[in-house]
Structure 1
Amino acid sequence: MKIAVLVSVGRHPVSGTARYSRNDAAALCIALDIARQHGAQLDVLHAGDPASPALAEYLALGATRVEVLNTEGDACAALAGRIAGYDLVMTGTRAEGAFDSGTLPYRIADALNIALVGSAVDIDVKSDGLEVRQFMPKGLRRRVRVSLPALVAVHPLANAAPRFAYARMREGRVAPVAASAPADSERSAWTLGPVTARPKRLAAPEKRSGHARMLCATTTESRGGSVVIEGSSVEKAQVILAYLREHRLVDY
């Protein structure tokens, strides 16, 4: 079995200092356990700047080598080309920036045409594939089976306890590798800047009693609303707009 773990550079929530991503660290911890139990080959990959000091912290968490695809092009295309042929690809659900999209696992799975399982909290390797336990709201969990090759995105609340060892960081190495990738067509539409106040979430005014809200929080019953499956994208957008107008969340 060949396992690839995709890691990113995280940010400290207070100081903003670059550090390892806790989500990716959980994925690495689970992958190390699988590799030890099944004698699998494990490679840790990152696409971006090899000079980031945060990459060395993954060595302290157990990686013997972090391969850095040194490219300024599309990171998804570079990673997808590198990990083609791997049996299991693991990564965190999303990076730790302010407004990270969390779409990288989906884009890579689409590029490789493999199955994707998100919000994983633990993984068991079976003879015919993987059994993954997924995180669900309100404390629920769900077990799903998937055949290999597959990509698994690990939830922040996964059953993993990364252990930092300075000696491992000194023994391992960060290995930059030149990689060619096409320019990211979406990159020109984004601007980078300091984190500002989070946008205010639109929420309909609550009209239920306190008892009704408490019952809703402790049960899995539907809170109402409707699921629109049929119709065009314009008709679905009109349903959403009508809901926003009904609850006075928009003024047009």
Structure 2
Amino acid sequence: MYGEAYENHMRGRSSSWSLRFTSGEFEEIVKILRREYGQDRLSQFLLSPIEELQAFLGTCTTDQFLDCVEIYCLHVSTDEDLTDERKEEYIREINHRFREVGLGYEFLGQHVVRIDAQALHAEVLKPTMALLSAENNFAGAEQEMQTAFENYRASDNKGAVAEALKAFESVMKSICAKRNWAHSPNDTASKLLGVCFVNNLIPTYLQSHFTGLRTVLESGVPTVRNKTSGHGQGSTIQPLEDHFVSYVLYTALANIKLLIDCDKALP
């Protein structure tokens, strides 16, 4: 992908259709990666920036490779010379290649995120992140959710759970603030949910239908967080397995989507 972009630059192909990386841009990318990994050079050989990057891609770890893909996608998405249609095609191709080789990752927003189930990803993650990015008052929650998935990708499972709860709480605080519902910035998830239910964020006529919804919302994410990442773990290390964290992240996303959808429906 990087090689093609450099060849397009050297051949002078139409910039509105073909992605092009200049020698200076490759040099900047290499500098970013060197700084990120605390290395003077990415390769032991004295090479040009493009050759150094290509050599690095042949020997790097999976996480380092994903970093390179993320930088590439960020360049594509911010390239002012490319048409929006062409940007989307480049990103689609990257995500298609991820799926083709069985890598559970996708470039979404401004990050490469880990995905564990394509259906959940399509029906929950994408629409929820779109809802968060659509309104400025959810910017904090959007960043926290992105950080949760970054932590998950980096195998910081407890950090992922903690950030998911922050996003969950931030959405409720934003809704309460927008509607001038009495609450404290320091309220816990349980208290914030109480405010939302008292003010009929979930309509009264649906509350009986959603028997146990409040329990699910209160216990699904906050309790997991409280029992894992929110307190000391004592003298023994308490591992938090990937499948459990995946459940927490998608539960948080589903809860967030429900709350935002209900807020939109409320007069």
TM range (shorter): under 0.3
Between structures 1 and 2, the one with greater strand share: 1
Between structures 1 and 2, the one with greater helix share: 2
Higher relative contact order (CA 8 A, sep 6+): 1
Q: Normalised by the size of structure 2, how large is the TM-score?
A: 0.24
